[in-house]
Amino acid sequence: MDRMSFAPAQPLLLTYEDYCAVPQDGRRYELLEGELCVGPSPTSRHQRVSRNLEFILHAQVSARGLGEVLDAPMDVILDPGTVVQPDLLFVAASRLAIITERGVEGAPDLAVEIVSGRTGTFDRGPKRQLYARYGVAHYWIVDPDGRSLAEYVLQDRNYGLRATYQANSSCTTALFPDLPIDLASVFG
């Protein structure tokens, strides 16, 4: 009897076009280096924190003509096999051309992830590394449970932690030095 040998199957890597064909079912999808990732919709607490921070950033950015603040769901197409949806993002005025009808095509100047449920480990590890690899200059991790904002700044393709701010304080970030953010207002 002849024996057949089989090579291990290679994972099926998806593209942006495959991602666009995923049915809209209320879940949150991202495409990370060709692999489809799915998660539940954010919690109401997550959404409130996101809204509060977005309103603060939007007021500053629009009043000064600094660029544009956008919120999820907004596809950020980092390459044909990597599409993420940060909770909030900022694109500077000089780079607004990367915002197209498809989404943001390239690295935004700021990506903000708000930790919700099990996303903390992923946001602090693989997703942070992914954003650094694609050149997102500023990355913030907002933790509603810990009532904190961790600010990372890209240095030589890696993030350095600039500061961690607590809810009972006001923070001034490297990206927005003229905007003191009252974290008590962000966390409500």
pLDDT higher than threshold 70 for residue 135: yes
pLDDT at 37: 85
- Strand, helix or coil at 105? strand
**What does the pLDDT read at residue 31?**
87
Helix (H, G, I), strand (E, B) or coil at 6: coil
pLDDT-derived band of residue 1, with 50, 70 and 90 as boundaries? Answer: very low
Tell me which residue of 164, 186, 150 sits closest to 59, measured CA to CA. Answer: 186
Q: Which residue has the tokens 């005025």?
A: 93
- For the segment 125-150, the average pLDDT, to the nearest whole number, is 94
72-96 pLDDT per residue, tens? 989 999 999 999 999 999 999 999 9
The single residue listed with the structure tokens 């280096």 is 33
pLDDT of 9 over the 70 cut: no
Integer angstrom CA distances of residue 142 from 5, 7, 46, 169: 50, 44, 10, 14
Could you tell me how many residues make up the chain? Answer: 188
Q: Per-residue pLDDT averaged across 36-54, rounded?
A: 90
Mean pLDDT of 12-40: 85
Q: What is the mean pLDDT of residues 51-56?
A: 97
Report, as an integer, the average pLDDT of 141-167: 95
Structural domains of the chain, ranges and CATH numbers in brackets: 42-187 (3.90.1570.10)
pTM score above 0.85: yes
Percentage of the chain modeled with pLDDT above 70:
94
Give the pLDDT mean for 163-180: 93
What are the residue ranges of helices labelled H in 69-168?
A: 119-124, 126-133
